[in-house]
Amino acid sequence: MKKIYLILFVITNLIFYNCSKDKGPVEDEQTPGNVSFVNDVQPVFDQNCTSCHPNSGNLDLTASNSYNQLVNVDASGYPAKRVVPGDPEHSVLYKKIDGSGVYGGNMPLGNSLSAVQIALIKQWIEEGAQNN
């Protein structure tokens, strides 16, 4: 009788062990490393920034101009780049939206982006600020 219990115990553990490794069907989900500038970041600018920044602060964040005016471009009035690929902490854009006050007032002026939007822009910069 003890042998039967032992066999059942071993079989049960093997089943649970193997099932715990099963991740189920692979879903088509966004994986880290693929924030799209065009599909994810630009819509944030369109919703929150372009009303002031087709020309304010010598910065045009409209869809046809934003990328070329951000990445590796000197920031007006600051000794830093607007976006340093891979380095949000040294990117004026990120420091203007994160509420730190490092480069003056928070943007957008009189408002703020959601935590999700801020994290998205940070991730895009961390991933190398690709024009994708």
Contact 98, 118 (CB under 8 A): yes
- Residue 97 inside a domain? The answer is yes
Residue 35's contacts (CB-CB under 8 Å, 6 or more residues apart) are 41, 120, 123, 124, 127
Model-level pTM? 0.74
- Residue 115 inside a domain? The answer is yes
21 token code pair: 């490794």
- Residue 47 inside a domain? The answer is yes
- Residue 28 inside a domain? The answer is no
CB hemisphere CA count around 8 (13 angstroms) = 5
Provide the number of structural domains found in the chain.
Answer: 1
Contact 121, 43 (CB under 8 A): no
Query: Tell me: the pLDDT tens digits for 51-101?
Result: 999 978 789 999 999 999 999 999 999 999 999 999 999 999 999 999 999
Reported as a pLDDT band with limits 50, 70 and 90, residue 25 is: very low
Burial class (CB in 10 A: 0-12, 13-18, 19+), 59: buried
- Residue 108 inside a domain? The answer is yes
- Residue 26 inside a domain? The answer is no
Residue-range definition of the domain harbouring residue 104: 37-126
Q: Which of 92, 114, 113, 96 is CA-nearest to residue 105?
A: 96
- Residue 61 inside a domain? The answer is yes
> What are residue 74's phi and psi, to 5 degrees?
-60, 135
> What are residue 102's phi and psi, to 5 degrees?
-60, -40
- Residue 16 inside a domain? The answer is no
Distance CA 38, CA 80 (A): 24
Query: Tell me: the pLDDT tens digits for 37-56?
Result: 999 999 999 999 999 999 78
